[in-house]
Amino acid sequence: MAKQDYYQVLEVSRTATEAEIKKAYRRLAMKFHPDRNPNDPQAEHRFKEAKEAYEVLADPQKRAAYDQYGHAGLQSGRGGAGGGFGGMGDVFGDIFGEMFGDIFSGGQRGRSQVFRGADLRYELELDLEQAVFGTETTIRVPALVECRSCGGSGAAKGSQPKTCDTCGGHGQVRVQQSMFTIQQPCPRCKGRGKIVTNPCDSCLGQGRIREEKALAVKIPAGVDTGDRIRLSGEGEAGRNGGPTGDLYVEIQVREHPIFQRDGSNLSCEVPISFTTAALGGSVSVPTLDSDVVLKIPAETQSGRVFRLRAKGVAPVRGGATGDLYCRVVIETPVDLNHEQKDLLRRFEASLQHGSQKPREKSFFDGVKKFFTGALH
């Protein structure tokens, strides 16, 4: 049975480039692969044809012989394109290596692998005032840094790492898995491509040592719990010449004895006396940068909230400064003497329950209506 023209098999022109041939083969191999078409002899036949055509047209010498003499040019031992599945591993290594090579080689095809250093996280606790107004501080972070004795090579002074004889210095080896050949890090050199035979005394051949770094950190004004500050290149050192990771400083704001924070707003409770609540007056209220005078109108009820504009927090990402909300709480006097108690009893007796105790009247009226309705 006459063989079909290889260019027709791959559905490309005779002037197709190597990239076009490879792309066409990849498409057909995916379409007719036996794993995708079980118990389909026609698909298996098309798959073998495509593989055979690709083995010839992807090889410049075989392609030249084929272009000049056709299929006969391949019978003289200059490169017969055997049928079946023989040699398929190398073919798929070329094709799928392009697709997945960067995954197994860390983006360094044909070279030993490099590894980026790990990112680090540091939790920094701040007082509310430090978070609101910003600050500068120094933190100490333990991390793996490049060994200064060997410059990160892992080899003792005066020696050099040797090329790994397992992977030939590539850092990767090809492994046959079923019908595919994939690349993975070399098990002997761990992807480095080199073997340290005389390790450095300081790092024991690892190229990195653990030490504590002192870093100055500038905290911008307005940060809050959960915000992160990125210090580029202050993480762990990379391996085999890889870049250094980053350090992320995560902010945690301590609880404040007076203020609670909600985004850009602050709130607090302000105790006032019964006399001030009844007759009105003024109280001094602290803010984060100064004290302000809060005017209390007469007949103020406990729990009333007063708003002090722009006395909150300026957001770290910009925007209007928040407000301070002051909730007044009437403080009950303690340790009263007999005279004071007698005065309060006489004062209580002088009050008219309807008009002078509106909240009390409203409450008991509501209770009366509830029970009256329940009885009916």
* Residue ranges, CATH 2.10.230.10, the chain: 120-253
Given the DSSP bridges, would you call strands 194-195 and 162-163 parallel, antiparallel or unpaired? Answer: antiparallel
Question: What pLDDT was estimated at residue 33?
Answer: 83
Place of tokens 């090329």: 163
Q: Which CATH number fits domain 260-330: 3.30.1280.10, 3.20.20.60, 2.60.40.10, 2.60.260.20?
A: 2.60.260.20
Question: What pLDDT was estimated at residue 178?
Answer: 60
CATH no. for 6-86 = 1.10.287.110
The two three-digit tokens of residue 116, written as one number: 């980026």
Distance CA 181, CA 320 (A): 61
Distance CA 351, CA 349 (A): 6
Using alpha carbons, select from 360, 372, 348 the residue that is nearest to residue 302.
360
Question: What pLDDT was estimated at residue 361?
Answer: 61
Question: What pLDDT was estimated at residue 191?
Answer: 77
Distance CA 248, CA 122 (A): 6
CA 86 to chain centre: 45
* Residue ranges, CATH 2.60.260.20, the chain: 260-330
* Residue ranges, CATH 1.10.287.110, the chain: 6-86
Distance CA 326, CA 307 (A): 6
Q: What is the mean pLDDT of each run of 10 residues along the chain (376 residues)?
A: 81 88 87 83 88 88 81 58 42 46 42 75 95 95 88 87 85 72 78 85 87 93 95 88 90 95 96 94 92 94 94 92 96 93 90 67 64 59
SS3 122: strand
Q: Any alpha helices (H) in 199-318, and if so which ranges?
A: 274-279
Q: Which CATH class is domain 120-253?
A: mainly beta
| pTM given for the model | 0.58
Using alpha carbons, select from 120, 124, 119, 142 the residue that is nearest to residue 134.
124
